[in-house]
Amino acid sequence: MKVLSAIITVAAGVGAALALYWLLNKLAELLPGRWEGRIKPYFFIAPAFLAVALYLIYPAIVTVLNSFQDRASEEWVGFENYTELLSSTPFQKTLFNTVLWILIVPAVTVVVGLAVAVLADRLKPGAEKLSKTIIFLPMAIALVGASQIWGLIYDAAPKGQPQIGLMNAIWTKLGHDPVAWLQQSTLHFNSILLMVVLLWAQVGFSMVLLSAAVKGVPADTLEAARIDGASERQTFFQVVVPQIKGTMITVFVTVTIAVMKIFDIVYVMTNGNFNTNVLGNEFYNQLNTNFNNGAAAAIVVILMIAVIPVMAYQVRHFRAEEASA
Structural domain span for residue 293: 87-324
Sequence-separated (6 or more) residues with CB below 8 Å from residue 297: 63, 64, 65, 66, 67, 69, 81
36 and 171 share one domain: no
265 and 139 share one domain: yes
174 and 315 share one domain: yes
Look at 210 and 35; give whichever has higher pLDDT. Answer: 210
pLDDT at residue 324 tops 80: no
pLDDT at residue 319 tops 90: no
In a domain, 77, yes or no: no
159 and 29 share one domain: no
pLDDT at residue 246 tops 90: no
Quote the pLDDT of residue 194: 97
Average pLDDT over residues 14-40: 87
Average pLDDT over residues 294-323: 87
In a domain, 82, yes or no: no
197 and 285 share one domain: yes
Quote the pLDDT of residue 36: 80
Q: What is d(CA 113, CA 111) in angstroms, rounded to the nearest whole number?
A: 6
Amino acid identity of 134? Answer: I
224 and 303 share one domain: yes
pLDDT tens by residue, 213-226: 999 999 899 899 98
Burial of residue 104, with CB atoms counted within 10 A of its CB: 0-12 exposed, 13-18 middle, 19 or more buried? middle
Quote the pLDDT of residue 301: 95
In a domain, 143, yes or no: yes
20 and 104 share one domain: no
Model confidence, pTM: 0.87
Chain mean position to CA 64: 23
Neighbours of 322 (CB within 10 A): 8
Average pLDDT over residues 149-174: 93
Least confident range from 10-14, 25-29, 260-264: namely: 25-29
51 and 129 share one domain: no
Quote the pLDDT of residue 325: 62
To 5 degrees, how large is the angle CA 285–CA 183–CA 291?
10
CB 168 within 8 A of CB 156: yes
**What is the CATH classification number for the domain harbouring 103?**
1.10.3720.10
In a domain, 132, yes or no: yes
Mean pLDDT of the chain: 91
In a domain, 190, yes or no: yes
In a domain, 33, yes or no: yes
In a domain, 234, yes or no: yes
100 and 230 share one domain: yes
55 and 173 share one domain: no
pLDDT band at 265 (very low <50, low <70, confident <90, very high): very high
Average pLDDT over residues 125-144: 91
Quote the pLDDT of residue 72: 92
23 and 100 share one domain: no
Query: What is the three-class DSSP state of 218?
Result: coil
Which residues on neighbouring strands pair with residue 69, listed in sequence order? 76
Overall domain count for the chain: 2
In a domain, 229, yes or no: yes
Last residue of a domain, one of 33, 66, 99: 66
Burial of residue 96, with CB atoms counted within 10 A of its CB: 0-12 exposed, 13-18 middle, 19 or more buried? middle
pLDDT at residue 157 tops 80: yes
177 and 295 share one domain: yes
Amino acid identity of 107? Answer: A
Quote the pLDDT of residue 29: 85
Average pLDDT over residues 298-307: 92
